[in-house]
Structure 1
Amino acid sequence: MSTNYTTLSVTNQTKKSVEVYVTFAASNSANKCCPSPVGVSDFGFLTKVNKLMGKFELGAGKTQEFDSKGACFSGNICFYIEPQCPVPGADFNHGKEGTSIAEFTLNPNTPCAEAFDISCVNGVNSFIAMEVDKGGGWNYGPNKTPITKIYNKGLQENSGNPGVFPVNCTDCIQLVGDKPCPILPLGPAQTERICNIQRSGRGGTLKVILIASVPC
């Protein structure tokens, strides 16, 4: 079903079920782009973790749709565990090298842009792809290069990879302030501001895809 607003879907392409954590932006009247975003209570299939976070189990090969009915939907998605820095004694998926997350803002107030990216600032525990419809107007970087799919690579392999914040690079091209995850390396950072995918349009579906144990 086509709509004049943007929906989101989450797909598990692995051979095992996975726990999915969804963190929502808080309401903030000072945020003119997204003052009253949807939250945990707007999606009945979520189990509440806290005020801003819900979770659900996603079976192997399954897809879960999120339809905000046109309301602003801003937040992030993390697979296997809650977003966090390295977890002592954990395996890779459960935080040995921190966590990778899919970030997005959909259906903000006009004229604010929609945006998405994959953040490896806190590390990498999964390989995620994010995909949008062709011809949707999505682009990145100083040259507004068109793009329809992004994906993260390993912990220190994301420099030059559009739509991805490298490890500990809070400002895309650099670290600002203290390292979020002190025991992880810094970057290498992006050489240009290519970390965000944006557009002025609306409609279609942003797909968040958990792929196999190696990058696509």
Structure 2
Amino acid sequence: MSTSYTTLSVTNQTQKSVEVYVTFAASNSANKCCPSPVGISDFSFLTKVNKLMAKFELGAGKTQEFDPKGACFSGNICFYIEPQCPVSGADFNHGAQGTSIAEFTLNPNTPCAEAFDISCVNGVNSFIAMEVDSDGGWNYGPNKTPISRIFNKALQQNSENPGVFPVNCTDCIQLVGDKPCPSLPLGPAQKERICNIQRSGRGGTLKVILTDPDLL
């Protein structure tokens, strides 16, 4: 591990350039884990969309590094379009089945855990993998099962797939409240709470990778 804190990278494994949308957590003094997270102004290559969202273009086969310099970095990444439920008349990558996002919190205050997952709660418009060092201490579920790579599958194929929130399953194993994306089906949900990957350590790089089903 090259640093005492955790960095993030975004890689485009597809054969076409893609727009990448980054949504940042807001500053919140009540959040004892991450009261003052990094934001748009901390990364010069970003173009502002709104107060908490920015975007950048990522060429085919290219990687963009994010170095939070030890500060808390919490948010999500969505490819092609802003995170949203199905867009009328859209093609697949532009939200015909909603949008899949990579979620993460890195370098929170001790003793809070680092965490990441892939949320298909609002659907699937891309296939995302997230990778970490195999010796990084990352784990999931009630048995704290070690893991170093997660990825999402198609819309209703994520049950028993660790690190992934299935469609409309806001609480991993169930829907709580109204469907966030009413036009999409529900689940199937996870049978156990395996949606979130966590660890107590720091260091290394969390890799967010836009890929396709043939490379998963």
Normalised-by-shorter TM-score class: over 0.9
Residue correspondences, number: 216
Structure 1 residues 1-216: aligned runs within 5 Å: 2-212=2-212, 214=214, 216=216
Matches of 2:134 and 2:171, distance apart in 1:
28
* Alpha carbons of structure 1 residues 213 and 145: separation in structure 2 relative to 1, 3 Å: closer
Cα deviation, residue 134, structure 1: 1.3
**Identity across matched positions, percent:** 88
Cα deviation, residue 215, structure 1: 6.2
Deviations along 1:69-96, one digit per CA (max 9) or x if unpaired, are 0000000000000000000000000000
Matches of 2:23 and 2:50, distance apart in 1:
9
Code of the aligned partner of 2:59: G
Cα deviation, residue 212, structure 1: 2.1
Code of the aligned partner of 1:21: Y
Code of the aligned partner of 2:70: G
Code of the aligned partner of 1:145: T
Matches of 1:75 and 1:179, distance apart in 2:
22
Matches of 1:54 and 1:171, distance apart in 2:
27
Deviations along 1:75-131, one digit per CA (max 9) or x if unpaired, are 000000000000000000000000000000000000000000000000000000000
8 A Cα contact 1:126 1:213, kept in partner: no
Matches of 2:133 and 2:97, distance apart in 1:
32
Deviations along 1:21-46, one digit per CA (max 9) or x if unpaired, are 00000000000000000001110000
Matches of 1:181 and 1:113, distance apart in 2:
29
8 A Cα contact 2:153 2:213, kept in partner: no
**Long gaps (5+) in structure 1:** none
Code of the aligned partner of 1:146: P
TM-score (norm 1): 0.99
Aligned-residue CA RMSD in angstroms?
Answer: 0.8
**Long gaps (5+) in structure 2:** none
Q: For 1:50, what is the secondary structure of its paired residue?
A: coil
8 A Cα contact 2:48 2:55, kept in partner: yes
